[in-house]
Amino acid sequence: MVLKGGEFLLKESNAADVFILEELNEEQKMIAGMCQDFLEKEVFPNLDKIDGMEPGLMRSLVAKSGELGLLGISVPEEYGGFGQSFVTSMLASDILGAGYSYAVAYSAHTGIGTLPILYYGSDELKQKYIPKLANGEYAGAYCLTEPNAGSDANSGKTKAVLSEDGKYYILNGQKMWITNGGFADVLTVFAKIDNDKILSAFAVERNFPGVTFNPEEKKMGIKGSSTVQIFFNDCKVPVENMIGKRGEGFRIALNILHIGRIKLGANVLGACRRSVMQSVNYANERKQFGSLISNFGAIKYKLAEQVIRLFVAESSLYRTAKYVDDTIKKHMNDGMAKPQAYLEALGEYAMEAAILKVFGSETLNYIVDEFVQIYGGMGYSAEMPADRAYRDSRINRIFEGTNEINRLVASDMFLKMAKKADSKVFDIAKSVYDQLENIQENTTADYFGKKHFILEKLKKASLLMLGKAYEAISKQYNTEQETMMSISDMLIQLYAAESVVLRVQKLEGLKSEQEYAVYKDICDVFVYEASSRIYKSAMDALNSFATGEEFTKIQNGLRKLTSVEPINIKEARRRIANKLIEDNDYKF
């Protein structure tokens, strides 16, 4: 059974329905190997040159990626691509995500630089641009952000006016923070036609008269990625280069952002993996007090936590990617054309996309921070690998909508789901509240029975808090951003916890009993920690709207709903760290 977007809150998920990395087929493993080989041969030996913006280097890397087929993994075969599944496209983004600035260029090109034309362009536009974007002859970029239009993208001021002869739209305006803008051949540009209140989108070629480019921006990190301001001064764009319909631009932008958010959730995994590997390599080389620092409990804690958060992020991303693939197939079986099926599926999982973006980027943030810390003073040296990883990671909490925006998106999607006519969310929330004083304890001795019982309680806690918050603040809900974000944090931890339980459950039987034990440790520690985080977030929300007897009743209920059996997390983390230390690499 494929769960619809947000249904993980209402229904028990089945391990058999999720995809885990351990199930990659031979073709997918071959693609992953090809991506890794490209990094080893073309990217890692040139990291300093890339960050130094050596003229033409990044553009040549994009071209080489196209020659190998890496740019066309998710492009249909009719346009020169491989037409691979969504899971496979996420796998490529995952592996290449270890490529620092190159990963940004790759992701921007294959995502926001290509997909608006692929999924909204006319047949003529697709035939004209997609094959060249897929083979690397053209590089793509996406021009949405303006000086006064960032998170509020639809407030952009760039204008388009139809020429007197009706053959062109005349563009005037300014775009900023344009990734790949310094070398992109095709730009997806958003502008408002005449006095329209909603954006439209256009495919603009670099050499169209009236397009000018500022010098490269100087950035904190991802220094090798091209980022420029672009100006349009009476730029003539053929009317047939409109992408989609007039006034459809904002919808295009939002749908492409859903894709970008899941894609970023994949990108960060490769960066996480490389940072974990370099962290343990150093811990296994550095001696202090006559011992390798990997022998110290404080370092083992850091290494184990890096592993746990990465493993959980992987579990969440690939679970969702399979849901998207299954939903695309369902829509197509119902007669929907593939482009529309793809967009419908991505829209369906908008809540999960926001969750993955936040959890993934904050997982990478944690891992690179501890990467620096494990290196100690050496970690602060610009000559050490932690320097680039640390600086480059920071942008991911801003890319594809800030994490604050994505938290609000997740909470808002939760509320919209609750307010649908056929939704039972508020009824369930009321039922949970009415039964808070009679919460039953788990009676099963089965390991996964206990874990699913905990997840069921955490879902009830999340539903309860949305119901009571909306009941208390109602129309003010969307302005009470602190409360919304606390509820989002509950959803993020819940989805992550369920994802790791499902993955570990599916791994049972695929690993020997001895190998399998460490995966149960990962599951135990994360569910234990997630439960306490969910309680903290729930209380932060509760304190903002409840008082008196109601407050006390809900607080006592939340304690029961988020309670878990005690585990020796010190020993569990040590066992996880010991495997990492013994392997001297991330092999989970």
Domain boundary residue, one of 211, 230, 246: 246
445 shares a domain with 399: no
Is there a domain that residue 26 lies in? yes
CB 581 within 8 A of CB 573: no
CB 491 within 8 A of CB 410: yes
Domain boundary residue, one of 246, 279, 300: 246
Q: What is the pTM of this model?
A: 0.95
Domain boundary residue, one of 95, 111, 139: 139
User: What does the pLDDT look like over 166-184, one tens digit per residue?
Assistant: 999 999 999 999 999 999 9
User: Whose CA is closest to 116, among 244, 22, 274, 225?
Assistant: 244
- Domain of 229: which CATH number? 2.40.110.10
Selecting among 146, 370, 400, 498, the annotated active-site residue is 400
- Domain of 288: which CATH number? 1.20.140.10
228 shares a domain with 271: no
134 shares a domain with 255: no
Is there a domain that residue 413 lies in? no
- Domain of 128: which CATH number? 1.10.540.10
- Between CA 37 and CA 33 the distance in angstroms is 6
377 shares a domain with 288: yes
303 shares a domain with 238: no
Residue 155, domain extent = 142-246
Kindly indicate the confidence band of residue 509, based on its pLDDT and cuts at 50, 70 and 90.
Answer: confident
Kindly indicate the confidence band of residue 587, based on its pLDDT and cuts at 50, 70 and 90.
Answer: very high
Residues with Cβ < 8 Å from 459, sequence gap 6 or more? 8, 9, 10, 494
Active site residue 383: no
85 shares a domain with 33: yes
339 shares a domain with 278: yes
Q: What is the pLDDT of residue 432?
A: 94
149 shares a domain with 103: no
SS (H, E, C) 4-37: CCCHHHCCCCCHHHCCCHHHCCHHHHHHHHHHHH
165 shares a domain with 46: no
280 shares a domain with 225: no
398 shares a domain with 261: yes
358 shares a domain with 212: no
Pairing of strands 140-143, 186-193: parallel
436: left (phi over 0), alpha (psi -120 to 50) or beta: alpha
What is the chain's length?
588
Is there a domain that residue 326 lies in? yes
The stretch 294-309 carries a mean pLDDT of 98
Q: What is the pLDDT of residue 258?
A: 87
Domain count, the chain: 4
Q: What is the pLDDT of residue 154?
A: 82
Is there a domain that residue 410 lies in? no
Is there a domain that residue 412 lies in? no
